[in-house]
Amino acid sequence: MSALSVSAVFGTPVSGASWTVLAQGSVPAPEVDYGAIGAMLVVFAGACLGVLVEAFFPRHVRWSSQVALTLLTLGAAGVTFGWYVGRSAAPVTTLSGTLAIDRPTLFLWGTLIALALGAVLLIADRSVEPGGSFVAQAAIRPGTVQDRAQAATSGMQTEIFPLTLFALGGMMVFCAANDLLTMFVALEVLSLPLYLMCGLARRRRLLSQEAAVKYFLLGAFASAFFLYGLALLYGYAGSVKLSAIAEATAGNDRSDSLLYVGLGLLVVGLLFKGSVGPFHTWTPDVYQGAPTPVTAFMAACTKVAAFGGIVRVLNVAFKASSWEWRGVLWAVAIASMVIGAVLGLTQTDIKRMIAYSSVAHAGFLLVGSIALTEQGRSGTLFYLLAYGFTTLAAFGIVSLVRDGNGEATHLSQWAGLAKRSPLTAAVFTFLLLALAGIPLTSGFVGKFVVFTAAVDDGMAPLVVVAVVASAIAAFFYLRVVVLMYFSEPATDGPTVTVPGVFTTVAITLGVLVTLLLGVYPAVALDWAGPGLAFAP
Amino acid sequence: MNAASLVTLMVLPLLGGAVVASLRGNDRLAKQVALGFSLVELVLAAVLWAGYDPAGARLQLTSSVDWIAAFGVHLSFGVDGIALVMIAVVALLGPVVVGAAWREKLPAARTAGGFLGLILVQQGLVVGVFAATDVFLFYVLFEIMLIPMYFLIGGYGGARRQYAAVKFFLYSFLGGLFMLASAIGAYVYAAGRLGRGTFDWATLVAVVRDAPLSTQIWLFLGFFAAFAIKAPLVPVHTWLPDAAAEAPIVVSVILVGVLDKVGMFGFLRYLLPMFPKASQELAPLVLVLAVVGVLYGSLLATGQRDLKRFIAYVSIAHFGFMALGVFAFSTQSQVGAVSYMINHSVATGMLLLVIGMVIARGGSTRISDYGGMARLTPVLGGLFLLAGLSTLSLPGTNSFVSEFLVLLGSYPREPVYTVLAALGMVLAAVYVLWLYQRLFHGPVRGDALVGLASGPGAVEDPARAKVSDLSARELVVLAPLVVLVLGLGIYPKPVLDVVTPSVSATMTEVGLADPVAQGGK
């Protein structure tokens, strides 16, 4: 292996020896397909503009301008994306092959932009919690006089909006990354804003800050794992490009230990982001402590990005060696499903319960991800779309049920909710049934496509475990339904806040997609369906 | 008749449910509208029956629309004789149940509109389950139909309703998921053979029936889990006594009379034709469970102290008989099993309603709280006896025909199991007549009827002693069931004629000949 050179890292076919090119100081600029990555560029541009708005706009117009800018950015990204998809869907790689804009990428980008739109609406809502869910000044120490004062004011840190856009941009790069180094950078770009966003809750500041610190520390470890794995894989394959690693694994003249240790470390980093058990330990604490709109954003979008990355890495780089690692990921999937379903049973906090539910769902997603077939890919992508919208709407509902101290997240406080707010209870029941995977909801179709792919790829025993885990998990969803419908309300129970326009739109969006994908899944299945190939 | 009428039969109650549920402010109007919808449904079902040609195609009144093209899923409906009679039972019980629920005491803050709306939705979904001819669609409806029942038990039931509702749901849901896994397995297998996956029942049957035995056994077990829980067979029956004990009586009628039949129906429609080899291979397992169910259910029914749980165990015994008939693999026994499905709905439905009327008078579900009721309510006593005699299969009542056919048809192939199951007939006489004796004979006694009547110086509660006999409404509710109990007992031919060709077709699909020459029906 020669010295680390530009051509080795980026795999660009540079004519002549690369060091001579470098010596002449004329590195050829990588070709950029601006159309293909337009949506991503729009998001990053919007994020940068948001920072400028934060710096130069007076305080009283910041919120409105940030909301307008963010929604405009997402709209523009959506239009750019739609324009590109309408024009061509041929897979391309761009920026010297570091980004692959193929069908899976496009599907995930569409999903991410739509989910981010819903999450931003939740973040922007100021009617449910007067002044918004976010602290006025993050630097105020919890428990102090200033902290109590800020809880009553109506200001909020509007940096949350550019942070959201940066995170979204990172997720988009992460899904499209065609080499591990780009993937790592994207991982950091998406994670760092999230760490910060977790600590910005207006109420229960200590819990929120604890969540941020936990997420940051564990996330940093996971990133280190990823990076170490990347280094070992570079040593193994001599390149960080996924396709080069795939070529290397197809041969057999290299050190397998580098491959397996590298792959293991890399996958740990990825599974951490996807909150797959047993790498899920941060999930309940962070979901509980983070401001609910941020939790919604994390639960929906981070999951999409993480599994988008996992599917790409496994399918593109490690398909040839699947025989060796698949057994391990079987075990991980089983662990995740069982941990999520069983520990979910014991939860008494609704946000923690949904967190464990997300761990169980991560297990199901992993079942689909390790079926390295076209069906497995499309099933996983469909599942991500379905799960994202359902969980987004579910957290939207959670943010509505409140008492004097903010959100009433303890389960006992939800008793008899149906008597007081039948509509909220009915919508939440529908979402819970979707999470449980009852037919005519998107959750069921998601499970169905994933299970079908798994059986088709010879993983029937795994499906049986998944089926049992689904049934166990159904219990804790049902428990909430029982509480809401069949229990007497507590006299000093929480009230359901009438949601503002933003939250209403976000919840409606989530519920409608959940219903539509359940009743007529063909719309999305066709798009996620045949010919879902990765760019070479 | 055309295919649209079958779909209408399913959609109409769903529509009715929505309409009735929206009439929450006006209980009286809600009841009338619900009754109207259920009567129209009954008329439509009668028309459907009249238009069915027993000698015609295997599936009639078929219709099919693409649903999820990528997975070969269709919205297809159609009926054979077995499905037809089950749909007829569903339609028949509709007005009966609405009538019986007329004076139902609902929990506080619940309205008749919500209650009857759920019942109508339940009715529509069950019709859909029987009419579906796409395995995926069947699964979807199979699971969806749990939801209204879950709310009916949990929202309107007794003290332990939360537990009962969740238990009911989880049992059925788990069974359903195993079925889903098997259905996916069958789909994948068929996709490998045909090159393109489909969930169409007829296509799957044609392909999967030739699968190797080991494959069939795995797929069989998944479907069997779902149907055995639904039916229910021992040892996965424990949800039924809880659910039946906590649910309001009219809901129990639907649960025991209609929902549980989906299990038996599934045996005949899905298990046997799709997995004939596995069905024969594993028949002894099912037969053991069936016979254990007959004896265990009968013994526990005899020992019950609670009226509603009594019915649940009686039903478990009867479901054992039906399973025996299905897995004894003769046309006669299977025709018996299918007619048992109907007759059980009628007889047990009537017994449940009569018991509900007893409970409505005494306000207690404990058997020991009653005694000597015949003196106070002779008509109720007489109808209770009729329902009881039908339950114990007295000749001349409808259940006799079916039980006799099951035993007669099962004996040639499975003499041991048949003889053991026949013991259940003896036990049936014990538990029915003993219950009747305790409730209705002797002097008037029991806390529910006369207050603290026992013991010296006991004070009688005069309000309770004035128990009135059946009202006109109650008589009208029971009248159609009385007619059916006696009518089908004396002249069962209309049902048997419709059922027999479909059962013969099932036997052909299994690929077994009848063990003895059949001398007509």
What secondary structure does DSSP assign to A135-169, as a single string? -S-TTSPTTSHHHHHHHHS----TTHHHHHHHHHH
Does residue B341 form part of some domain? yes
How does DSSP classify residue A241?
A: B
Query: Between the CA of residue B31 and those of A70, B8, B20, B115, what are the distances in Å?
Result: 53, 21, 8, 10
Query: In the predicted model, is pLDDT for residue B15 greater than 70?
Result: yes
Nearest CA in chain A to B156: A486
CA distance B444 to chain A (A): 38
Chain B (108-137) residues lying within 8 Å, Cβ to Cβ, of chain A: 109
Query: In the predicted model, is pLDDT for residue A212 greater than 80?
Result: yes
CA–CA gap between residue B367 and residue B448 (Å, rounded): 10
Residue A198's identity, in one-letter code, is C
Structure-token pair, residue B216:
């069939």
Query: In the predicted model, is pLDDT for residue A6 greater than 70?
Result: no
Query: Which chain B residues have a beta carbon less than 8 Å from that of A467?
Result: 174, 177-178, 180-181
Structure-token pair, residue A199:
């600590």
B188-231 pLDDT, tens digit per residue, is: 999 988 888 899 999 999 999 889 999 999 999 999 999 999 98
CA–CA gap between residue B354 and residue B484 (Å, rounded): 15
What confidence score (pLDDT) does residue B51 get?
87
The greatest distance separating any two alpha carbons of chain A, rounded to the nearest whole angstrom, comes to: 80
B159 touches chain A (CB under 8 A): no
Per the DSSP assignment, residues forming a β-bridge with B65 are: B75
Count of beta carbons in the 10 Å neighbourhood of residue A370: 27
Does residue B169 form part of some domain? no
Query: In the predicted model, is pLDDT for residue A13 greater than 60?
Result: no
Query: In the predicted model, is pLDDT for residue B146 greater than 80?
Result: yes
Q: What is the pLDDT confidence band of residue B513, given thresholds at 50, 70 and 90?
A: confident
What confidence score (pLDDT) does residue B465 get?
57
Nearest CA in chain B to A434: B144
Give the least confident one: A112-116, A323-327, A427-431.
A323-327
Query: In the predicted model, is pLDDT for residue B519 greater than 80?
Result: no
**B143 and A487: CB-CB below 8 Å?**
no
Query: In the predicted model, is pLDDT for residue B91 greater than 50?
Result: yes
Percentage of chain B lying above the pLDDT 70 cut: 95
Rounded average pLDDT over B279-295: 93
Residue B199's identity, in one-letter code, is F
B177 touches chain A (CB under 8 A): yes
- Tell me the helix, strand and coil percentages in chain A, rounded to 5: 70, 5, 25
Query: In the predicted model, is pLDDT for residue B483 greater than 60?
Result: yes
Query: In the predicted model, is pLDDT for residue B468 greater than 90?
Result: no
Half-sphere exposure of A157 (CA within 13 A, CB side): 19
DSSP run (H or E) holding B62: strand B60-68
Query: Which chain A residues have a beta carbon less than 8 Å from that of B150?
Result: 478
What confidence score (pLDDT) does residue A24 get?
54
Q: Is A403 left (phi over 0), alpha (psi -120 to 50) or beta?
A: beta
Rounded average pLDDT over A440-456: 93
- Find all residues with CB under 8 Å of A446, minimum gap 6, and list them: A364, A379, A382, A383, A386, A387, A437, A517
Who wins on pLDDT, A534 or B240?
Answer: B240
For residue A470, give the nearest of B68, B70, B177 by CB distance. Answer: B177
Rounded average pLDDT over B342-365: 90
For residue A525, give the nearest of B68, B147, B187 by CB distance. Answer: B68
What confidence score (pLDDT) does residue A18 get?
45
Residue A2's identity, in one-letter code, is S
Q: Which of A89-93, A201-205, B326-330 has the highest mean pLDDT?
A: B326-330
**A452 and B71: CB-CB below 8 Å?**
yes
CA–CA gap between residue A383 and residue A533 (Å, rounded): 17
CA distance A475 to chain B (A): 7
Does residue B377 form part of some domain? yes
Query: Which chain B residues have a beta carbon less than 8 Å from that of A438?
Result: 143-144, 147, 173
For residue A455, give the nearest of B144, B169, B185 by CB distance. Answer: B185
- Find all residues with CB under 8 Å of A41, minimum gap 6, and list them: A34
**B162 and A475: CB-CB below 8 Å?**
no
Q: What is the pLDDT confidence band of residue B461, given thresholds at 50, 70 and 90?
A: low
B450 touches chain A (CB under 8 A): no
Which of A457, A482, A515, A526 is the best mutation test for B, with the most CBs of B within 10 A?
A482
Contact A226, A184 (CB under 8 A): yes
A484 touches chain B (CB under 8 A): no
Does residue B98 form part of some domain? no
CA–CA gap between residue B389 and residue A210 (Å, rounded): 70
Split into its structural domains, chain B has a count of: 1
Count of beta carbons in the 10 Å neighbourhood of residue B520: 3
pTM for the full model?
0.91
Cα B395 to chain centroid distance, Å, stands at 22
Give the least confident one: A153-167, A266-280, A303-317.
A153-167
- Find all residues with CB under 8 Å of A450, minimum gap 6, and list them: A364, A365, A367, A368, A371, A376, A379, A380, A383
Q: Computed over its alpha carbons, how large is the radius of gyration of chain A?
A: 23
A214-228 pLDDT, tens digit per residue, is: 999 999 999 999 999
B171 touches chain A (CB under 8 A): no
What confidence score (pLDDT) does residue A496 get?
83
What confidence score (pLDDT) does residue B28 get?
87
CA–CA gap between residue A255 and residue B335 (Å, rounded): 68
What confidence score (pLDDT) does residue A10 get?
46
Mean per-residue pLDDT of chain B: 88
Count of beta carbons in the 10 Å neighbourhood of residue A419: 16
Collapsed DSSP state (helix, strand, coil) of residue A370: coil
A439 touches chain B (CB under 8 A): yes
What confidence score (pLDDT) does residue B521 get?
40
Give the least confident one: A8-17, B116-125, B430-439.
A8-17
A433 touches chain B (CB under 8 A): yes
Residue A4's identity, in one-letter code, is L
Query: In the predicted model, is pLDDT for residue A25 greater than 70?
Result: no
Query: In the predicted model, is pLDDT for residue B455 greater than 90?
Result: no
B24-52 pLDDT, tens digit per residue, is: 888 889 899 999 999 999 999 999 998 88
A105-145 pLDDT, tens digit per residue, is: 999 999 999 999 999 999 998 888 877 888 877 777 887 88
Nearest CA in chain A to B146: A438
Q: What is the pLDDT confidence band of residue B445, given thresholds at 50, 70 and 90?
A: confident
CA distance B67 to chain A (A): 7
Rounded average pLDDT over A361-366: 96
CA–CA gap between residue A239 and residue A236 (Å, rounded): 8
What confidence score (pLDDT) does residue B1 get?
55
Nearest CA in chain A to B188: A456
Nearest CA in chain A to B163: A482
Query: Between the CA of residue B62 and those of A131, B6, B88, B142, B310, what are the distances in Å?
Result: 59, 8, 17, 19, 40
What confidence score (pLDDT) does residue A19 get?
47
Collapsed DSSP state (helix, strand, coil) of residue A177: strand
Q: What is the pLDDT confidence band of residue A320, given thresholds at 50, 70 and 90?
A: confident
Residue numbers of the domain that contains B300:
283-516
Torsion of CA A97, A99, A101, A104, to 10 degrees: 120
For residue B70, give the nearest of A470, A486, A522 by CB distance. Answer: A522
**A439 and B140: CB-CB below 8 Å?**
yes
Query: Which chain A residues have a beta carbon less than 8 Å from that of B188?
Result: 452, 455-456
What confidence score (pLDDT) does residue A20 get?
46
Q: What is the pLDDT confidence band of residue B463, given thresholds at 50, 70 and 90?
A: low
Mean per-residue pLDDT of chain A: 88
**A451 and B184: CB-CB below 8 Å?**
yes
